[in-house]
């Protein structure tokens, strides 16, 4: 006889051996052979399974947590059970030998701290992935929007302090914009919902959700890629101009050199995040200045 489950109540007869694996087990019947029982401790038990069965119309016996051997139980062979403490066994219930085993903790999975070589390898692979990603995005950006990219780099070069300051402001403005959109979405949905204009309320809510999603995606792309690419490309042009001016306007080499340097500094332990913040604020501020100038130029033209 073999059983595995949450709880078991055996009040019948088993002619041979029996093996149990349960959270709660009670023996009332007769077992002709040996019994092996892996049973959970009473103090570790949770709610009985019957508490999760609602209006089934079926009476489910309640088994006490742990391992219980009734007064009428008979075991013709030996009893081997796993518990942290000895259980009460009637004097004539077991004909053979009684053996209690201690529960064995699961020690198969152990956390092993990474070695210095593994940490260095992980850091190197992360750095390489970052470099390859930025180079690919940079080349794509230079191919699709070369004038836009050059305009943002010009803003950084012409007004680095202003770009840094406006970058901090634009970073805060992003979260303020999220708050405004979310607030307007909730207010509009509630007002039009109260007016029984469910269609209008639904449109407002969905427009708000889409706006928030688009704003977050755009912000992540700009801060994670564009700002680093713009600063790296500008830095690469400056370095190549000092080494070989003929290569400063090349489409690949300044970007590659700048990306390697920026990615390496950003990946430095303890201090890299500071440089990463500066790069992000510079790129955000330059993008803000570019957008402001473009808006003013269109107003003048209009």
Between 199 and 133, residue with greater pLDDT: 133
Average pLDDT over residues 104-117: 74
pLDDT at 267 over 90: yes
pLDDT of residue 47: 59
| pLDDT value for 164 | 95
114 band by pLDDT with thresholds 50, 70 and 90:
confident
Give the pLDDT of residue 102: 85
Q: pLDDT tens digit string along 8-25?
A: 888 888 889 999 988 888
The pLDDT value recorded for residue 6 is 81
Mean pLDDT, all residues of the chain? 88
Burial class (CB in 10 A: 0-12, 13-18, 19+), 76: middle
Provide mean pLDDT across the span 207-214: 94
pTM to 2 decimals? 0.63
| pLDDT beyond 70 at 48 | no
* Of 33-37, 48-52, 79-83, the least confident: 48-52
Contact by Cβ (8 Å): 155, 170: no
Q: How confident is the model at residue 274 (pLDDT cuts 50, 70, 90)?
A: very high
For 127-181, the pLDDT digits (tens) are 999 999 999 999 999 999 999 999 999 999 999 999 999 999 999 999 999 999 9
What angle, rounded to 10 degrees, do the helices at 272-301 and 227-243 form? 100
Nearest Cα neighbor of 71 from 120, 28, 115 is 28
Q: Average of pLDDT values for 255-264?
A: 94
For 282-301, write each residue's pLDDT tens digit: 999 999 999 999 888 888 88
**Whole-number pLDDT of residue 300:** 86
Rounded CA separation 169/173 (Å) = 6
Which ranges of the chain does DSSP label H, i.e. alpha helix? 116-144, 146-158, 160-194, 198-221, 227-243, 253-266, 272-301
Category of 298 on φ-ψ map: left (φ > 0), alpha (ψ -120 to 50) or beta = alpha
60 or 287, which is more confident: 287
Instruction: From 188, 151, 85, select the one nearest 283 (Cα to Cα).
Output: 151
Percentage of residues in the chain having pLDDT higher than 90 = 54
Cα–Cα distance, 182 to 189 (Å, whole number): 11
Q: What is the pLDDT of residue 109?
A: 61
């Amino acid at each position: 006889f073999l059983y595995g489950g949450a709880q078991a109540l055996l009040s019948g007869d088993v002619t041979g051996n029996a093996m149990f694996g349960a959270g709660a087990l009670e023996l009332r019947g007769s077992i002709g052979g040996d019994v092996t029982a892996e049973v959970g401790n009473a103090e570790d038990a949770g709610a009985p399974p019957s508490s999760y069965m609602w209006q089934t119309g079926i009476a489910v016996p309640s088994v006490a947590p742990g391992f219980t051997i009734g007064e009428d139980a008979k075991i013709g062979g030996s009893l081997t059970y796993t518990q942290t403490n000895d259980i009460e066994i009637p004097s004539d219930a077991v004909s053979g030998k009684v053996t209690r085993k201690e529960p064995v903790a699961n020690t198969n999975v152990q956390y092993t701290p990474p070695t210095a070589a593994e940490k260095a390898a992980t850091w190197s692979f992360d750095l390489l992935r970052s470099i390859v990603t930025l180079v690919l995005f940079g080349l794509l950006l230079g191919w699709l929007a070369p004038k836009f990219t050059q305009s943002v780099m010009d803003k950084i070069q012409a007004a680095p302090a202003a770009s840094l300051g406006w970058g901090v402001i634009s970073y805060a403005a992003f979260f303020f914009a999220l708050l405004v959109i979310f607030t307007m979405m909730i207010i509009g949905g509630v007002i039009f919902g109260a007016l029984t204009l469910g269609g209008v309320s639904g449109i407002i809510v969905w427009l708000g959700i889409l706006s928030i999603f688009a704003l977050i995606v755009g912000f992540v792309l700009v801060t994670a890629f564009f700002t680093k690419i713009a600063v790296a490309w500008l830095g690469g042009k400056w370095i190549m101009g000092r080494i070989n001016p003929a290569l400063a306007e090349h489409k690949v080499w300044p970007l590659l050199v700048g990306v390697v340097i920026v990615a390496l500094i950003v990946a430095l332990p303890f201090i890299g995040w500071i440089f990463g913040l500066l790069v992000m604020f510079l790129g955000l501020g330059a993008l803000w200045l570019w957008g402001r100038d473009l808006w003013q130029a269109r107003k003048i033209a209009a």
